[in-house]
Amino acid sequence: MGILVVGSVALDSVKTPFGEVEEALGGSATYFSVAASYFTDVSVVAVVGEDFPEKHVSFLRTKKINLAGLKKAPGKTFRWAGHYNYDLNTANTLKTELNVFETFDPELPLEYRDADLVFLANIDPVLQRRVVEQIKAPKIIAADTMNFWIESKRAELIETLKLVNILTINEAEVRQLADESNLVKGARKILSMGPKILIVKRGEYGVLMFNGGSTFSAPAYPLEDVFDPTGAGDTFAGGFMGYLASIRDFSDENLRKALVMGSVMASFTVEDFSLGGIRSLSYPEIERRFREFKRLSHFEDL
């Protein structure tokens, strides 16, 4: 079972208290697919401009990511610039240049239309829906979004959410989307908009999953060196969905393990800028950190 992902492929300029990068490889679909590629086959739907460096395409190919749906269009690649203060939990967006995404109308290659697992990574909700419409019989549709789209395309986003089974967004976005300050009440409200499962990303405080009557909480890995949180959310989603695709079972127990696998992958991403932390991991390294997570939060019954 492979995964189809639509999202941004970007050039990011990021500044944190620990350093900065200019026009580095980024984008929601990029982080997602590299993380998921450790577990399953991934096919990408996105667009880049003529200025997109070939070395980035070659790198994605080394991860065996299917790029048949990555279009090159006249114009400039999507660019995002952001900075973080010492509180690395909040990204401050300095610039969002949609560029080639402004006119992108995704036409899925025929081989993509049989996908059963779909991830709608953070991008215009209209594009997310266009992709879903072309898939014959999707089994699970998961999605992400962000404040930019909640503010600028709220009505379109609410339409897309009606098609979504699993939504992964951060804590501030839950409050913004639900218009509700209490997280549990906000989650209930979002679960009435379409998704059956809501995953709330809480930065260095971990993740919360609301799945019907069951609520699960996983910590974030307590790292000594966090350099750049960019892409942590997309990497989380890549680990989460990639693991689920590899075990082909969506029971609550497996969703919990997948949530930890997402957190494992995100913990590698924040240790370096751009894709540095997840470029070349080995499976034993991933497993080792998974087991450290287990020890971190394991406790005995009374």
Shortest distance in whole angstroms from residue 232 CB to ligand AMP: 5
Distance CA 246, CA 262 (A): 13
Does residue 80 belong to the site contacting ligand AMP (CB under 6 A)? yes
Shortest distance in whole angstroms from residue 30 CB to ligand AMP: 7
Does residue 26 belong to the site contacting ligand AMP (CB under 6 A)? yes
Tell which one of 3, 5, 12, 33 touches ligand AMP (CB under 6 A): 12
With respect to ligand AMP, which residue has the nearer C-beta, 38 or 80? 80
Does residue 96 belong to the site contacting ligand AMP (CB under 6 A)? yes
Count of residues engaged in binding ligand AMP, rule: CB under 6 A: 18
Touching ligand AMP, residues 170-199 (CB under 6 A)? none
Shortest distance in whole angstroms from residue 141 CB to ligand AMP: 18
Distance CA 225, CA 95 (A): 26
Which residue has the closest beta carbon to ligand AMP?
A: 26
Tell which one of 10, 166, 260, 265 touches ligand AMP (CB under 6 A): 10
With respect to ligand AMP, which residue has the nearer C-beta, 120 or 209? 120
Does residue 278 belong to the site contacting ligand AMP (CB under 6 A)? no
Shortest distance in whole angstroms from residue 12 CB to ligand AMP: 5
With respect to ligand AMP, which residue has the nearer C-beta, 146 or 161? 146
Tell which one of 148, 216, 250, 290 touches ligand AMP (CB under 6 A): 148
With respect to ligand AMP, which residue has the nearer C-beta, 116 or 159? 159
Tell which one of 3, 5, 6, 27 touches ligand AMP (CB under 6 A): 27
Does residue 59 belong to the site contacting ligand AMP (CB under 6 A)? no
Backbone angles phi, psi at 212, to 5 degrees: 60, -125
Please choose, from the candidates 242, 293, 291, the residue with its C-alpha nearest in 3D space to the C-alpha of residue 263: 293
Residue 123 · residue 8 · CB < 8 Å: yes
Contact pattern from residue 210 through residue 239 relative to ligand AMP, giving x for each residue in contact according to CB under 6 A and a dash for the rest: --------------------xxxxx-----
* Contact positions vs ligand AMP (CB under 6 A): 8, 10, 12, 26-28, 31, 80, 96, 122-123, 146, 148, 230-234
